[in-house]
């Protein structure tokens, strides 16, 4: 399999000392990439590509928010009080309680989205490409930044792909539900969105009953599972729900929103996966069919994150066999799968 990555120095320009979503997380990944891996230089998204997903007014507002933040942001400069952020604090670098910007952030976000588009273009040309980009994107809605995300990279990439193919599937294994990706494609049958995530966690969306609307009814598949879930829970959901749904949908392209905050050492989530488990998830998707595949970096903030990225590349290179189920999934996971089978008519 022809494999590559797209990444570069431009992503260091969106940074905030002390924040979990900082450039250091990407630096540690780049230091561990496989030797001889083809690496493409990042490219910016066109405004046309961005506005397929985001409202032009939101993009103009976001750019303005970034440009006016002339001070380099430091976490200890912001004090959350009374349930809201005061206007002068927002101007200093935050556009919501979790999401910072600096003067370079808009440009960097366009490079993240453009690199995601490039990754799907490579995938459709027969080259599996991993967009090692930041800031992440799956929480960003059409008109709203949140959860460290400014522009929805996976959504921009999927929308670009839909100009030349009929159907795109997005598999999102980040510990937090991709509310932005879901909302953007909630009314269409041209995108199958499957998310497995912590139950009752940020952003408090992604319920089983959220299945799409209109022509999109049935094309959103949410598997909320308990905190402390292991690879046994994940594999059960993939084997029983995601892979059958993917094969039934028969997409022209698969995008993985790869969030490694599911690792047991991640500071902002509570799942119990280890780095090799991420490769196993990759192999489950890879083995589902001969679909063009692109991957987008989402969350992941713990010390073992680079090891998980290495495991993904091992799976893409065929070094990881289809995992044998280890252990039993938890009761909540079993109940979730039973409900999903009924709702989505999966036998």
Instruction: Exactly one of 138, 139, 177, 305 is catalytic; name it.
Output: 139
Half-sphere exposure of 44 (CA within 13 A, CB side): 10
d(CA 227, CA 264): 11
d(CA 93, CA 100): 5
At a CB cut-off of 8 Å and minimum separation 6, what does 87 contact?
none
Q: Of 140, 142, 147, give the one whose Cα is nearest residue 53.
A: 142
Tell me how far apart the 2 most distant CA atoms of the chain are, in Å: 56
β-strand partners of 177: none
139 is catalytic: yes
The answer to whether the beta carbons of residues 255 and 294 sit under 8 Å apart is yes
Q: Of 180, 160, 179, 135, give the one whose Cα is nearest residue 298.
A: 135
Residues taking part in catalysis = 139
């Amino acid at each position: 399999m022809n494999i590559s990555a797209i990444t570069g120095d431009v992503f260091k320009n969106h940074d905030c000392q002390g924040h979990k979503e900082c450039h250091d997380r990407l630096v540690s990944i780049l230091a561990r990439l496989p030797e001889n891996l083809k690496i493409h230089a990042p490219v910016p998204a066109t405004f046309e590509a961005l506005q397929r997903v985001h409202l032009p007014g939101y993009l103009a507002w976001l750019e303005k928010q970034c440009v006016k933040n002339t001070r380099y942001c430091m976490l200890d400069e912001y004090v959350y009080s009374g349930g809201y952020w005061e206007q002068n604090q927002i101007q200093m670098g935050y556009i919501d309680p979790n999401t910072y910007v600096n003067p370079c952030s808009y440009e960097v976000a366009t490079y993240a989205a453009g690199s995601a588009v490039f990754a799907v273009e490579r995938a459709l040309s027969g080259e599996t490409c991993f967009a090692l980009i930041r800031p992440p994107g799956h929480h960003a809605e059409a008109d709203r930044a949140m959860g460290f995300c400014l522009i929805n990279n996976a959504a921009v990439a999927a929308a670009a792909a839909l100009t030349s193919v009929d159907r795109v599937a997005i598999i999102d294994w980040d510990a937090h539900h991709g509310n932005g990706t879901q909302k953007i494609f909630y009314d269409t049958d041209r995108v199958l969105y499957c998310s497995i995530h912590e139950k009752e966690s940020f952003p408090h969306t992604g319920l089983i009953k959220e299945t799409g609307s209109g022509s999109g009814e049935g094309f959103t598949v949410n598997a909320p599972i308990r905190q402390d879930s292991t690879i046994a829970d994940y594999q059960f959901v993939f084997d029983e729900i995601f892979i059958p749904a993917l094969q039934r949908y028969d997409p022209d392209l698969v995008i993985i929103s790869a969030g490694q905050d599911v690792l047991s050492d991640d500071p902002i989530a509570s799942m119990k996966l280890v780095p090799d488990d991420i490769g196993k998830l990759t192999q489950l998707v890879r083995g589902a069919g001969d679909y063009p595949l692109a991957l987008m970096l989402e969350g992941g903030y713990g010390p073992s994150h680079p090891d998980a990225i290495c495991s993904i590349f091992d799976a893409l290179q065929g070094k990881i066999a289809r995992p044998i189920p280890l252990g039993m999934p938890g009761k909540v996971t079993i109940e979730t799968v039973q409900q999903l089978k009924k709702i989505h008519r999966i036998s």
